[in-house]
Amino acid sequence: MLDYLVLYNSQSGNTKGVAAAIFSALPEGSRDLVDINGGNPIPKAATYFIGFCVHRGSCCIEVSDFISSLEGCSIALFGTCGMGSSPEYYKLIEKNVSAWINSSCRYLGCCLCQGKMPMQVRQKYENMRTAENTAQVDGFIRNFDHAMTHPDREDLKRAQEFALSCVSRAREQV
């Protein structure tokens, strides 16, 4: 059994980048980095770092099924989403995804950051524009443009610090 497994789901690469940063920050040796949709067997581990891209306010079913299959281990969550600067929204995502964790597992917390979105999303916002919703659409577009540079170096550093704090807590609990 591994000490640490970083497992992730990423459709356009944002969460994959965060997963790689977390993996590189973990103590060398007993660790692995696996794409949940890569078709490879998923090794067992004492501590899992589970990453997801946010679709419709939660993770995909492959990730939720995997989380709910785990028992008696430590679990840290991480993810990327289009929405930035909204602690309330990040709390809601954390609540939606951590709800799948079995009570026999130790939950170590969740680290979310913003991730760039496909250009079609910006076009969709532009197409929604009417005389009545200009301010709201402008807000969506500002958020979209802000997301374009994320995850950035600061996001990756924060994810690595989060991972190291999880490692310390997982060790305390052994």
Ligand X SMILES: Cc1cc2nc3c(=O)[nH]c(=O)nc-3n(C[C@H](O)[C@H](O)[C@H](O)COP(=O)(O)O)c2cc1C
Residues contributing to the site for ligand X (CB under 6 A): 10-16, 53-57, 80-83, 115-118
**Closest to ligand X by CB, 124 or 157:** 124
Distances (CA, A) of 51 to 60, 93, 95: 11, 12, 15
**Closest to ligand X by CB, 31 or 51:** 51
**Closest to ligand X by CB, 54 or 73:** 54
Closest distance of CB 107 from ligand X, Å: 22
Place of tokens 């076009």: 123
Closest distance of CB 46 from ligand X, Å: 25
Closest distance of CB 55 from ligand X, Å: 4
Packing angle, helices 14-25 and 153-172, rounded to 10 = 50
**Closest to ligand X by CB, 36 or 170:** 36
**3-state SS, residue 10:** coil
Length of the chain: 174
Place of tokens 């709390």: 91
H/E stretch holding 138 reads helix 134-147
Closest distance of CB 12 from ligand X, Å: 3
